[in-house]
Amino acid sequence: MQHPSAYVAAIGTAVPGGPVEQGRLWEGFFAAHFRGDRAAERIFRGAGVQRRHAAVNPLLEDVGGWSTGDRMRRYAAEARPLGKEAVAAALDTAGLRPDEVGLLAVVSCTGYATPGLDIHVAADLGMAADVQRLVIGHMGCYAAIPGLGAVADHVTARGRPAVALCLELTSLHVQPPAPDRGQVVSHALFGDAAAAVVVVPGRPQAGGLEVVDVAALTDPGTADHMTWDVTDLGFRMGLSPEVPAVLARHVRGMVTGLLGRHGLSIADVDGWAVHPGGPRILSTVAEQLRLPDRALDASLRVLAERGNCSSSTVLLVLDELRASGRPRPGRSAVAMAFGPGLTLYAALLRAC
């Protein structure tokens, strides 16, 4: 039996509240949080973020002293309507009813509850009682790509539509004040967002993206370079300044290997949806892949307007890339993200 191909038919997004300006966040909260440290201010203002969204705005609520239990209860309350909004928008754009979905995968590393988002969002939208569900937790910023791969595999195996919802509320994990420059980077970059991708079998209308292949590479020797630890006071990020150097060692070989399996080269790629882990991450990718000027504009725009929203971000970038007309019909795009492990994940997509 020949299995159908899997296509991205739509992406739906949702953000909590209105945007918060980066300068206001520093002046109104983080300047005191880091005790006026001038180097911390330079890092904060140089993160490439102009504004972002927060379910818990530190200008209004300081969660630094909250227990992890308190943060998880707030996650459950905030995430449910946000996830419903993103999935509903994606299904509406794809022209699908909720009861047509065969699998709902939920990706998050910033909150957990049982019954979880997978159950609540499915019920709130009216998905069928026999919809299959998958929860992908604590993988970090790259998790949207294996999530996309999982729903695409379901679509090709079962011939039914599937949805992956990435929902991250990083604002819940503001840490207590500490003289830690790594925490400055984390607090400077991260924002909140939900992004849902609908994947369907067969050949959709123009604008769909075939999920051609997914690739992964993990360097376990650098596992301590990026961490996301559960503590009594929320989840705490550990971030080494060596991350861009590790990425530089691996990204070109990983991408050329993925493309080479399909007779393609870097020059054949018509669109790049690269996770904006920060300005240095993007400049490293551009340099190692020798990308043309403005190839990563979609990533830079998302970083500026949304910040780094962990797993949701690469889908936000892909949505931005599609809105700019890339990749063009018949051409390919690469979606790529990075996270703990250190791990690189990439998906090869082809426009209908």
Residue-wise pLDDT for 147-162, tens only, equals 999 999 999 999 999 9
pLDDT in tens, 66-102: 999 999 999 999 999 999 999 999 999 999 999 999 9
CA angle 262, 215, 5 (to 5 degrees): 60
Q: Are residues 131 and 266 located together in one domain of the fold?
A: no
Contacts of 146 (CB under 8 A, 6+ apart): 136, 139, 214, 216, 345
> Token pair for residue 112?
């957990």
Residues 228 and 176 in one domain: no
User: Are 173 and 230 contained in the same domain?
Assistant: no
Domain assignment present for residue 275? The answer is yes
Residue 309 among the catalytic residues: no
Question: Quick one: tokens of 133?
Answer: 């569900």
Q: What SS3 class is residue 65?
A: coil
Residues 115 and 138 both lie in one domain: yes
- We report the CATH number of the domain holding residue 18 as 3.40.47.10
SS3 content of the chain, % helix, strand, coil (to 5): 40, 25, 30
Residue that terminates a domain, selected from 171, 201, 231: 201
Together in a domain, 182 and 318 = no
pLDDT above 90: residue 172: yes
Does residue 186 lie in a domain region?
A: yes
**Residue finishing a domain among 201, 231, 247:** 201
Q: Which domain holds residue 155?
A: 6-201
16 shares a domain with 164: yes
Are residues 73 and 195 both part of a single domain?
yes
Do 215 and 295 share a domain, yes or no? yes
Structural domains in the chain (count): 2
23 occurs within a structural domain: yes
Query: Residue 299 pLDDT > 90, yes or no?
Result: yes
Q: Name the catalytic one among 109, 141, 166, 309.
A: 141
Instruction: Tell me what the pLDDT averaged over the chain comes to.
Output: 95
**Is pTM beyond 0.85 here?**
yes
Cα separation, 310 vs 37, in Å, equals: 26
Asked if 194 and 231 sit in the same domain, the reply is: no
Q: How far apart are the C-alpha atoms of 247 and 260, rounded to whole Å? A: 20
